[in-house]
Structure 1
Amino acid sequence: MDLLNNLAVGFATALSLQNLLYCFLGVTLGTLIGVLPGLGPVATLAMLLPITYTLDPTSALIMLAGIYYGSQYGGSTTAILVNLPGESASVVTCLDGYQMARHGKAGTALGIAAIGSFIAGCFATILVAAFAPPLIELAFKFGPAEYFSLMVLGLVGAVVLANGSVLKAFAMIILGLLLGIIGADVNSGTFRFDFGIAELQDGIDFVAISMGLFGFTEIIVNLSKGETRDSITEKVGSIWPSRKELCKAAPAITRGTLLGSFLGILPGGGALLASFASYTLEKKVGGKNANPPFGKGNIAGVAGPESANNAGAQTSFIPMLTLGIPCNATMALMIGALMIHNITPGPQVMSSNPTLFWGLVVSMWIGNLMLVILNLPLIGVWVQLLRVPYGLLYPMILTFCCIGVYSINNNPFDVYITIICGALGYLFAKLKCEPAPLILGFILGPMMEENLRRAMLLSRGDPSTFFTRPISLVLLMMAIFLLLLILLPSIKKGREVAFKED
């Protein structure tokens, strides 16, 4: 009964004219970002954070969430038609989706991708509504020791599931933790790592560092690569799959939805991990007798990953909303948006601001319905947008970034920080270091330090408090298990093969 009452509050909030408008704006931008290769949801969210400063917190979060799961829809369009992933989670869709398009089944591929994403999105939203309240009840039992251990697990998970070298991911985490403690110490007021620069005494602005590492870096990397679009399918054909095709895709949609819903909750998980895992699972299920073979236009190779990435995108909100822990870089930006509005992320959000919590959950249902309407009838519009040269887009994006960063504090120093972070981000890209762990470390670092100090104060300096409290001990043991797991030769080899495909 409480769930129905909460959903009633959510519908009343999400169906207001203002929130419907921002939901539509978010999913439309998300689709656009997914369609146009080279930006991605993380970079877009980083660029739009300054705009949310003037919005109502609920509207801001609804719009940002719409951009995130909307980009999962849009990314399939460019992957299928042009063989270029609009965002990282659509990499797998290129393998079979583009082959279907080459065989005259572009409309079928786009249709099944949209249907699978819609079903997965709706199911994942039900999970968020059902499991968030019990997790919040559990979270209220957390003390400083448990929160510290949970953040350790989150950072270890981000390392384990990060692309590429584990050592590089660890280095990025450490760098993020160090950047997070720049500025005045919360307890003593002592300035740390400010090097006598007055602007650093309040720490580095989250918007500046995220926009530099993601927004500026994406632009530089794309300009350095140039555009390599193969061809655009002129005639998409019917977007409604036949009954036979739906029956063939249904098991893959079911498996992808369930797998993506689970993997989205994991630290470091989300849409990218879910799509790769789903494709691997479908290849295992199909085996050598798959007709057509995977990589040659098998419809399950589109239905499974597309369902999984959308489910993973939406269930990744669960740890962010319930525990205040980001499980990927996008959720870290969501937490940044909450902090801009002086809302402390965590279990108290649901009790102190139920309209925000349940309004966001219900808006996901509404957003998924909007996305089906946007993606199926308007395929022709998105195809035309693929013709826009990237050279015309990046000057506008750069200008928007600089204005946005400056507008937060009216401080040109933040623009300089963004430029420096953009240069660093390009260096990281060349060294194949993923910036997502750095952002997670930057967000979680100050919270880890605060909870570590609180735990030590409450235990009067006894570090065994982290091992004598059951929940804290379990979380630390899980972190140690993950670390040991990736050191096993078979796991390490499998991980390298998986990310080599990326």
Structure 2
Amino acid sequence: MSTFELLMQGFGVALQPINLLMAFIGSVLGTAIGVLPGIGPALTIALLMPVTTQLEPASAFIMFAGILYGAMYGGSTTSILLNTPGESGSMMTALEGNQMARRGRGAAALATAAIGSFIAGTIGTILLSFVAPSVSELAFIFGPQDYFALMILSFTTISVVLGNSRLRGMIAVTIGLGLGVIGIDAQTGQSRMTFGSLDLLDGIPFTIVLVSLFAVGEIMFVASRSLARTEGTNPLKGGIWMTREDWKRSWKPWLRGTALGFPIGVLPAGGSEIPTFLSYAVEKRLSKHPEEFGSGAIEGVAGPEAANNAAAAGILVPLLTLGLPTSATSAILLSAFQGYGLQPGPLLFVNNAQLVWGLIASLYIGNLMLIVLNLPLAGVWVRLLMIPRPQLYAGIMIFALVGVWGLSTSWFDLLLMFLMGLLGFVMRVYDFPTAPVLIGLILGPMAEQQLRRALAISQGDPSTLVATPISASLLAIAVLILVGPPLFRYLAGRGRPARGRSALATPDSNPAQ
């Protein structure tokens, strides 16, 4: 039976009334969860697993898929309006989206994020339907040295978020790398920089750092500058819809973000962070308005948000075809499959074809539900900015506390959130960029793990890092990105005086003749 015929059978399952209801509940719940900082789809699905044991497997997984996609949509709302990303994949969206909101263009930012999410989610689901088995073979092609090269390439995105001072930016990266090494060393099992604290053995949770630096640090900064003072910003002065220029500047980033997000999301070490970093860097380099980045460039919202949602579809490929979880959410979904006595892998498509194709078909339906739900609400959501600032920031703080407490019910995590918030406040006061901290925290441990794994396999031979065509190509691209621009500027600077001297020499030569 062809893939198209199987997909049509899947729509027959997904369009059943109970499954449509589950898709709607999952989409709404996922959107709401995405708005709450710190909670995320993985925790939500984990909390709902005991509740869904009485449901049919197809209905339960259709709801879980709606939560996954809905959280991607909802995460962009607080990122753009409140500079408070609830998930790591929404971090890059916050950089430009919040600046657009401050300029009264929050509705346009929400609209381009919603449309980009829909386009990327739809294309990603189509690829999941038709090319999942072949794309999943990338998991077998990539070795540790290839993953390390991919991490190094991702590190080049730091250069576009360093802020006004490269020194401050590099200090921020170093802070992130330092936070990333805290905990138990995965290779040796030894504790590192825990200072005898058992609570630090598992490392610094990324969600706590994310919420603290963006939300808590921002709240402290605003409070220190007097909450009573208002900026007089009208959140709707830019209109409640995208202009013709916005559409023109957004459609290419939507497609480029999708092209980056899906294949990297498929990789075991991919996730949503790397493609969003790369998408932001690509859009800044290709934009005709690079001067707007940092002050509200719509490309910086459209590209990363599309990459984020395409990666969400990508993580389902290795999960369904190989039984390989590549993110926290897919790991929870794997345990949900096993709770129903199902083992994801090639045989799942044979033994439980109705379930698998019903789940895939529900992604199309859920994606359509989400765009219908979220796009008209852009003008409503943006009115959050009209709430008086004391009440608004108090609400953000409460949601942050609830989200962090819900992760582990640990008082130590709340203390850690306060300390990280102080760090965010100090960085905000002295104009240190926060994004490099998070990039260093994410990519540092991942790069270290793949580097040590590659060197262990090669018995310490460093040449293994360029031994494969993939790793050599990725490292060459990273070097070109770092060295190319200053080299071209240097060559251009040398060329201009030379042309000037030749031009001056021409008149002098005539009298001599």
Q: Using the alignment, how far apart are the partners of 2:9 and 2:467 within structure 1? A: 42
1:311 lines up with 2:310 in the alignment: no
User: Are 1:112 and 1:302, in contact at CA under 8 Å, matched by a contact in 2?
Assistant: no
1:435 lines up with 2:434 in the alignment: yes
* Alpha-carbon displacement from aligned partner over 1:33-76 (angstroms, at most 9, x marks no partner): 6xxxxxxxxx8256887555424596667536434434657988
Where 1:280 maps in the other structure, the secondary structure is: coil
User: Are 2:257 and 2:303, in contact at CA under 8 Å, matched by a contact in 1?
Assistant: yes
Give the match for residue 90 of structure 1: 97
* Alpha-carbon displacement from aligned partner over 1:6-36 (angstroms, at most 9, x marks no partner): 7976996795544431322333566xx6xxx
1:280 lines up with 2:323 in the alignment: no
* Alpha-carbon displacement from aligned partner over 1:225-251 (angstroms, at most 9, x marks no partner): 5431334669989x7x9xxx87x8875
Q: Using the alignment, how far apart are the partners of 1:403 and 1:74 within structure 2? A: 15
Q: Using the alignment, how far apart are the partners of 2:234 and 2:196 within structure 1? A: 54
What is the one-letter code of the residue matched to 1:89? Answer: E
Kindly state the Cα deviation for residue 451 of structure 1 after the two structures are TM-superposed.
2.3
Kindly state the Cα deviation for residue 380 of structure 1 after the two structures are TM-superposed.
6.7
Are the structure 2 counterparts of residues 22 and 384 from structure 1 closer, same or farther at C-alpha, using a change threshold of 3 Å? same
What is the one-letter code of the residue matched to 1:479? Answer: A
What is the one-letter code of the residue matched to 1:230? Answer: T
Structure 2: runs of 5+ lacking an equivalent: 50-59, 83-92, 265-273, 320-325, 336-342, 350-354, 493-513
Q: Using the alignment, how far apart are the partners of 1:388 and 1:304 within structure 2? A: 28
Structure 1: runs of 5+ lacking an equivalent: 34-42, 79-85, 99-108, 285-294, 296-300, 325-333, 494-502
User: Are 2:151 and 2:447, in contact at CA under 8 Å, matched by a contact in 1?
Assistant: yes
Normalised by the size of structure 2, how large is the TM-score?
0.64
User: Are 1:123 and 1:311, in contact at CA under 8 Å, matched by a contact in 2?
Assistant: yes
Query: Where do residues 290-301 of structure 1 align in structure 2 (5 Å cutoff)?
Result: none
Query: Where do residues 410-425 of structure 1 align in structure 2 (5 Å cutoff)?
Result: 410-425=409-424
Q: Using the alignment, how far apart are the partners of 2:426 and 2:347 within structure 1? A: 42
User: Are 1:179 and 1:204, in contact at CA under 8 Å, matched by a contact in 2?
Assistant: yes
Where 1:189 maps in the other structure, the secondary structure is: coil
Are the structure 2 counterparts of residues 417 and 19 from structure 1 closer, same or farther at C-alpha, using a change threshold of 3 Å? farther
Give the match for residue 231 of structure 2: 228
Are the structure 2 counterparts of residues 216 and 48 from structure 1 closer, same or farther at C-alpha, using a change threshold of 3 Å? farther
Tell which structure's C-alpha radius of gyration is larger.
2
Where 1:140 maps in the other structure, the secondary structure is: helix
Give the match for residue 128 of structure 1: 124
Kindly state the Cα deviation for residue 435 of structure 1 after the two structures are TM-superposed.
2.7
Kindly state the Cα deviation for residue 141 of structure 1 after the two structures are TM-superposed.
0.8
Give the match for residue 211 of structure 1: 211
Are the structure 2 counterparts of residues 160 and 8 from structure 1 closer, same or farther at C-alpha, using a change threshold of 3 Å? farther
Give the match for residue 196 of structure 2: 196
Kindly state the Cα deviation for residue 422 of structure 1 after the two structures are TM-superposed.
0.8
1:27 lines up with 2:20 in the alignment: no
Are the structure 2 counterparts of residues 95 and 255 from structure 1 closer, same or farther at C-alpha, using a change threshold of 3 Å? farther
Kindly state the Cα deviation for residue 399 of structure 1 after the two structures are TM-superposed.
3.2
Are the structure 2 counterparts of residues 279 and 68 from structure 1 closer, same or farther at C-alpha, using a change threshold of 3 Å? farther
Give the match for residue 500 of structure 2: none
User: Are 1:50 and 1:404, in contact at CA under 8 Å, matched by a contact in 2?
Assistant: no
Kindly state the Cα deviation for residue 423 of structure 1 after the two structures are TM-superposed.
0.7
Are the structure 2 counterparts of residues 77 and 423 from structure 1 closer, same or farther at C-alpha, using a change threshold of 3 Å? closer
Give the match for residue 392 of structure 1: 391
Give the match for residue 66 of structure 1: 70
- More deviation in 274-283 or 63-72? 274-283
Kindly state the Cα deviation for residue 489 of structure 1 after the two structures are TM-superposed.
6.6
Kindly state the Cα deviation for residue 397 of structure 1 after the two structures are TM-superposed.
3.0
Normalised by the size of structure 1, how large is the TM-score?
0.65
What is the one-letter code of the residue matched to 1:190? Answer: Q
Q: Using the alignment, how far apart are the partners of 2:179 and 2:432 within structure 1? A: 17
User: Are 1:252 and 1:282, in contact at CA under 8 Å, matched by a contact in 2?
Assistant: no
Kindly state the Cα deviation for residue 484 of structure 1 after the two structures are TM-superposed.
1.0
Q: Using the alignment, how far apart are the partners of 2:208 and 2:173 within structure 1? A: 18
Q: Using the alignment, how far apart are the partners of 1:139 and 1:130 within structure 2? A: 20
Are the structure 2 counterparts of residues 454 and 9 from structure 1 closer, same or farther at C-alpha, using a change threshold of 3 Å? farther
Percent identical among aligned pairs is 25
- More deviation in 387-396 or 269-278? 269-278
Give the match for residue 292 of structure 1: none
What is the one-letter code of the residue matched to 1:400? Answer: F
Are the structure 2 counterparts of residues 315 and 191 from structure 1 closer, same or farther at C-alpha, using a change threshold of 3 Å? same
* Alpha-carbon displacement from aligned partner over 1:148-186 (angstroms, at most 9, x marks no partner): 2222222x2331232414444443333323322222223
Q: Using the alignment, how far apart are the partners of 1:380 and 1:151 within structure 2? A: 38
User: Are 1:182 and 1:201, in contact at CA under 8 Å, matched by a contact in 2?
Assistant: yes
Are the structure 2 counterparts of residues 110 and 213 from structure 1 closer, same or farther at C-alpha, using a change threshold of 3 Å? closer
User: Are 2:101 and 2:107, in contact at CA under 8 Å, matched by a contact in 1?
Assistant: no
Give the match for residue 366 of structure 1: 366
Where 2:288 maps in the other structure, the secondary structure is: helix
Are the structure 2 counterparts of residues 168 and 315 from structure 1 closer, same or farther at C-alpha, using a change threshold of 3 Å? farther
User: Are 1:263 and 1:269, in contact at CA under 8 Å, matched by a contact in 2?
Assistant: no
Give the match for residue 481 of structure 2: 482
User: Are 2:257 and 2:276, in contact at CA under 8 Å, matched by a contact in 1?
Assistant: no
Give the match for residue 151 of structure 1: 151
Are the structure 2 counterparts of residues 477 and 148 from structure 1 closer, same or farther at C-alpha, using a change threshold of 3 Å? same
